[in-house]
Chain A
């Protein structure tokens, strides 16, 4: 944990313009993905309410795409729910990591929990001090939720009019967003760097062989390399 002094402009409720700009950009990119999610689901034959309601109550992009993908491929609702849930198990770990930044009141916890996503966690942990982390969580959480749901609804209503969104290269934008947000943590902490690189290598090696969602969870085995001096390394447990 870092102990950087809180700065006068970092009070919650007045986040700095840089954060707002970064969040707006991710909202924009997420919005286009949301439009494509709504359009794909409806173009595949699902009624409009499925992507719209799913986005409101599930609110997890990768799980939504996977669940709808399984449904459209004829995999059935049980397999669709299982795939989505497996992908979302990581949000339990994420919610633990950002819990102290969500807030103390019951309402804040209940609402904040629903806003825990890959992007909000990355934005939160990229900030230096607690006040900024809290502001980052809520600004990115509320912003992404609003934009994602509005855009999924728009896409579901518009159907396939957008064409193939892959041509805009947005699928490369999200890994790049994560890279930009985790680089500071990777730069300054060798233990985190070792753990993350080993975990990512393990996840990539497992991806062709196991169901979606498992590789990323397995990456946590990389934590076995965290906090050990080089030379007294242990093999990651699997």
Chain B
């Protein structure tokens, strides 16, 4: 097997093992309410951190202005309770327009 095939396999097995943690533990280990609340909050914390790093950085560096500006447009639309489709398309369109105008 080539190195690439082994890499794909290792990544697949490891990722699936991470994903099985929840379904395997659920129902076997009785989690205290406090832990359940923290797990739920932890998921939101992870998602917000993903949003922030995904909006502002690319490969460990600043992603340029076009992307965070688009995300900010989407964020404002979401805050004003715009429909989901408007949020998503608004963010992409704002970034696309800025890039067309040669904003990095």
The interface of chain A, by Cβ under 8 A from chain B, is 1, 21-22, 25-26, 29, 46, 50, 53-54, 57-60, 63, 67, 71, 76-78, 80-81, 84-85, 88-100, 102, 104, 109-110, 112-114, 116, 118, 121-122, 125, 166-183, 185-186, 189, 191-192, 195-197, 199-204, 207-208, 212, 215-217, 219-220, 222-223, 226-227
Are B49 and A172 in contact (CB-based, < 8 A)?
Answer: no
Give the distance to chain A from B77, nearest Cβ to Cβ, in Å. Answer: 8
Query: With the chains together, A192 CA to B43 CA distance in Å?
Result: 10
| Contact A50/B4 with A67-B11, A96-B22, A183-B78 known, Cβ cut-off 8 Å | yes
Are B15 and A81 in contact (CB-based, < 8 A)?
Answer: no
Query: With the chains together, A104 CA to B8 CA distance in Å?
Result: 30
Query: With the chains together, A219 CA to B21 CA distance in Å?
Result: 20
Residues in B neighbouring A185, C-beta threshold 8 A? 44
Dominant SS at the B interface?
helix
Residues in B neighbouring A195, C-beta threshold 8 A? 41, 44-45
**Other A-B pairs, 12, CB within 8 Å; known A109-B26, A173-B88, A216-B50:** A60-B15, A95-B23, A102-B26, A172-B67, A175-B54, A175-B55, A180-B74, A195-B44, A200-B49, A204-B53, A215-B49, A227-B37
Are B11 and A219 in contact (CB-based, < 8 A)?
Answer: no
Residues in A neighbouring B46, C-beta threshold 8 A? 90, 93-94, 199, 216-217, 219-220
Chain B residue at smallest Cβ distance from A168: B96
Chain B residue at smallest Cβ distance from A174: B54
Q: Which of B9, B18, B41, B49 is in CB contact (< 8 Å) with A88?
A: B18
Are B74 and A92 in contact (CB-based, < 8 A)?
Answer: no
Residues in A neighbouring B37, C-beta threshold 8 A? 1, 227
Query: With the chains together, A94 CA to B92 CA distance in Å?
Result: 26
Q: Which of B18, B55, B56 is in CB contact (< 8 Å) with A91?
A: B18
Are B7 and A192 in contact (CB-based, < 8 A)?
Answer: no
Residues in A neighbouring B54, C-beta threshold 8 A? 171, 174-175, 178
Query: With the chains together, A76 CA to B73 CA distance in Å?
Result: 39
| Contact A91/B41 with A71-B4, A176-B87 known, Cβ cut-off 8 Å | no
Give the distance to chain B from A225, nearest Cβ to Cβ, in Å. Answer: 10
Are A125 and B44 in contact (CB-based, < 8 A)?
Answer: yes
Residues in B neighbouring A22, C-beta threshold 8 A? 84-85
Are A54 and B11 in contact (CB-based, < 8 A)?
Answer: yes
- Complex interface residues of chain B between 55 and 74 (CB less than 8 A to chain A): 55-61, 63, 66-71, 73-74
